[in-house]
Structures are given as structure tokens and as C-alpha cells.
Amino acid sequence: MDDALVRAGRALRLVLLIVLALLFLIPFYLLIRNALSTEQEITSPAWTFFPTSLHWGNIRELFDDPSVPFARSLLNSALIAVVTTLGTLLLTSLAGYGLARVPYRHADKVFYGILGTLLVPAAVTFVPSFVLVSSLGWISTLRGLIVPTLFPAFACFVFRQYFLGFPRELEDAAQVDGLGPWRTYWRVVVPNSRPVFAAVGTIVFLGAWNAFLWPLVIGQDQSAWTVQVALSSFTTSQVIRLHELFTAATVSILPLLVVFLCFQRWIVAGVERSGID
């Protein structure tokens, strides 16, 4: 009797999971369906499961539309995401290594000073940060969009935790070979720590590409719009061309889906490392 019950339970669970998976995929289906439809097909009261012919021309139309600075905002987003990722990795990994490995009298105080910023909710600081960036004259510049976001305490913390467990023998061997701390770091520590760099890097990249509040506040001119700000201003504007909007949204998440599918294990590792603690 138990056996039948267990099997029935297992089948029920599988059915439930399949239903949930289909529900989770519906938004992606809508995104692609609308991106490849004409305006009439989207707004038609009779639902068509998929457009009868795929309108790839929507993509050209989007990039040709002079009223929408979409190509520029894509480029901005790409630049910001790449520079932010590399800059963050450099700064936070060096700091994490110093905190974990270089003995210093006041290291604890510095560490708690860094940790303390985790208690300050990031979004609450947007008013003060705006104040600072505007007094630096960095409004609507890529500098203003990038530089203030290069110092996430969580990434430094993840690196510190990781380097605390890094095998000391490797560093000692480098010392015997006459390498100083700086060259030991670059030649021995970094090459042996690729997984943690990949994990933090993918998380930072996703966050930079998808960020909205900070780019909205700082990127006030169209020339400094990121893809998210551009999409948002189309969504909340008066005249909305749905097929163009959905094409734009699809184009905006394609780079991320590629990153996501290629680096999923690192993203999972990054979530696990940064989510806990």
C-alpha cells in the first residue's frame, strides 16, 4: 500500500512541477511572441498563439527609429556592465585578499567598517549618493553611472571568506621562489581562484545590466540612458508602439540569457556564496 502511495505522490509532484514550469515560461513566450508580431496581431482581440509569419523586420525597425535612442542605450549598458564587472572584481578581490592574508593591527576595524555598510540598505542611499555625484558634476556621465557602484561590500566579503580558506602552501612556495606579496597575488593566488572570480563576476554583471534606480537617477540625458531606463521610458510614455517595445525588451535580455545559460553554474555558485551571510 505504501508503495502505491509513494508512487502516486511522486507522480503528483511531477505534474505540479510541470504545471509550474509552464507558468514560469509564459512571460518568456509572451515576450518572444509579441516581439515577432505586427502591432495588429498583438492588439487583436482574437488571441493567436503565435504570429503566422515572423516579423524579423521589427528588429530593423527598432534600430532605425530615430525617436528612440536604443542602439546608444544598448552600448551604454554593455560598457557599464563590462567596466563595472572588471573594476569591481579588481578592487574587491584585492581588498578581500588583504583582509584575509596581510596581518595588520587595525585590520579588524577596517573589516567592520566595510561590513557595516552591508547594514545600510543600498537603495536608501540613492538620495545622498545623488547629492554627491551631482556635486562632482557627474550627472548624465558614464563615470557617474559606473564609479559609485564599484565598491560593493558583499563582493569584498565573499573574497575575504574565500581567501581565508586558500591553501597557504601555495603562497609559501611562491615566497620561497622570491615573489613578493604583489606578484604572489597575481601569479599564484588569482590563477588558482578562477571559480570565485567567475561566481562574483557573473553576479555583478547581471546586477549591473539589470540595475534601474541608479541609472534612472543619474542618466538624465538620453545620451546616458541604459537599456533599462530606455525601456522604462517607452513603457511609461504616452504613445506606445507595442511591437517595438517588445522587440526592444527581447533584444535587451538576449545578452543576459546567453550569459545566464553559459555561466549558470557560476551564477548558482555566486548566489550561494553571496546570499548566505
CA distance 172 to 151: 30
For position 4 contacting other proteins by CB under 8 A, the verdict is no
Should residue 25 be labelled a site residue for other proteins when binding is judged by CB under 8 A?
Answer: yes
In the complex, least distance from residue 60 CB atom to other proteins, rounded to whole angstroms: 21
Query: Considering the rule CB under 8 A, would residue 182 count as an interface residue with other proteins?
Result: yes
Q: Smallest gap, in angstroms, from Cβ of residue 63 to other proteins?
A: 18
For other proteins, how many residues bind (rule: CB under 8 A)?
A: 102
**Nearest CB to other proteins, comparing residues 61 and 130:** 130
Q: Is 117 exposed, middle or buried (0-12, 13-18, 19+ CB in 10 A)?
A: middle
Binding flag, residue 238, other proteins (CB under 8 A): yes
Q: Which three cell numbers stand for residue 221?
A: 540625458
When binding is defined by CB under 8 A, the residue of 3, 4, 112, 135 that contacts other proteins is: 135
The reply on whether position 30 binds other proteins by CB under 8 A is yes
Asked if 156 touches other proteins (CB under 8 A), the answer is: yes
Q: Which of residues 66-95 bind other proteins (CB under 8 A)?
A: 91-92, 94-95
Return phi, psi of residue 239, to 5°: -95, 125
The closest of 42, 155, 143 to 92, measured between CA atoms, is 155
Between CA 221 and CA 139 the distance in angstroms is 9
122 binds other proteins (CB under 8 A): yes
Comparing C-alpha atoms, which of 137, 189, 187 is closest to residue 160? 189
